[in-house]
Structure formats: C-alpha cells, structure tokens
Structure 1
C-alpha cells in the first residue's frame, strides 16, 4: 500500500512526547503513531453509536459517569482530559496573573524556568 502524501502540522508537545515513547513499542514512527491515534479519535467522534452518544452525554454533563461501564468510563475520562488540555493550551494564564500584579514562572522550549515579574522583566531560575 502506497503512503498517502503528508501535510505538515503542529502537534501539542505532550502528545508528541507520548507518541515518541509509544511509537517504537508499536513498530511505528512518531508520525504514524500520531496518525493512528487521530484515526481512532476520528472514528469515535464520527460514530453515531449508542455507546458514543452515552459517552458524549456523560462528558457534556447530561449523564453521570456511574452510568457507564469500566471501559466506557476510561474513554469518557480520556475525552474530558483531552478537552481540558486543549482549553488550557489555548489560554494565557500568565498574562492575566501578571496584569493582576503577580509574578509568574514559565518554561521555555529548552526547559529553562524563568520568573516573569508583573512589569515583564525576566529572571532565569
């Protein structure tokens, strides 16, 4: 089977790190692992099954986790965790905290902790 052409895209760093850790054990490249997970998620998301509707009802707060079986609860928690991570990644909590006069700490791409004062001055930690 020929490989489909790829489109460059960005992947959240936590997903990339997990895919890197899992890919070799699954005999996949990191890109293949991310694509594998994306396809599973797409299938679940597009599924109109009763099970999927039950999961979505729980995740949206219309039903209780206790109404689900063990495996369904695991899937529902994963959906909630993914949504929280998605929303948190889109937020800039530091800017709000600094506007309120609080000092914040940030991690740069190299993993260096930096203290950021309300005036915007930075100090490596």
Structure 2
C-alpha cells in the first residue's frame, strides 16, 4: 500500500538500511515493527512515559526503553513544530528586521518592508 513519508526519514532509512543489507522500504518496515512491539510491550510503563511527556516526571526516571519512546515522541513534536514555522512571515508581520546567511555564505540583513 503506498504511503507518504518524510524525506529525512526516508534518507535515514536508506543509510541505515544499507548498513544492514536492507532496502529503505525494508528498513522502514523493520523500524515500524520495532515501534509496534515497543508500544505493545508489557515491560514498558506507558503511564510513566505519559507523565514525562506531560512534564510531570523527569526523563531520567525512565528506563532505557521508555526513554527511547519519549525521544521518538519528542522528535516528532519538534519536526511538527518546525514544519509549521514561517519566521520570515512572523518577523515581517511584526515589523522586525532580521539577518540570515545567503547561499554563498554572506550575511544578509532583511527588513520587514
């Protein structure tokens, strides 16, 4: 069944899969199976994970498998937040100027107008 995935995830699967003699699709399937088993595992305390994700418990209180689940969730949240950012639009709307580096590595100052 065709599925769209993030380009960065595909590239990571391609690189990791090559090390394990798997195609990118095989690596993605492998990761999906691991994730499914990890989430279904009785040795993982999902309530503790939820408490850490809600900011009610420290990350270091989790065992390694639970920390892996939390890191994965954090990665997804960060990627989602970054995808929704349009700093140029926000700065322009607020009337602020900003600086950035162009394709040649030169510092360029931008204005809101």
Same fold (TM over 0.5): yes
Which ranges in structure 1 are unaligned for 5 or more consecutive residues? 1-5, 120-125
Q: Of Structure 1 and Structure 2, which has the larger fraction of its residues in helix?
A: 2
TM-score with structure 1 length normalisation? 0.61
Distance 1:42 1:104 in 2: 44
Q: After TM superposition, where is structure 1 displaced by more than 3 Å over at least 4 residues in a row?
A: 38-45, 47-50, 103-107, 112-119
Count of aligned pairs? 108
User: Which residue of 10, 13, 25 corresponds with 2:7?
Assistant: 13
Partner of 1:72: helix, strand, or coil? helix
User: Which residue of 66, 74, 99 corresponds with 2:60?
Assistant: 66
Distance 1:118 1:34 in 2: 43
String of CA shifts for 1:10-42, please: whole Å, max 9, x gaps. Answer: x22322221121111122211222233234334
Distance 1:118 1:62 in 2: 40
Which ranges in structure 2 are unaligned for 5 or more consecutive residues? none
Distance 2:38 2:46 in 1: 7
Cα-Cα RMSD = 3.2
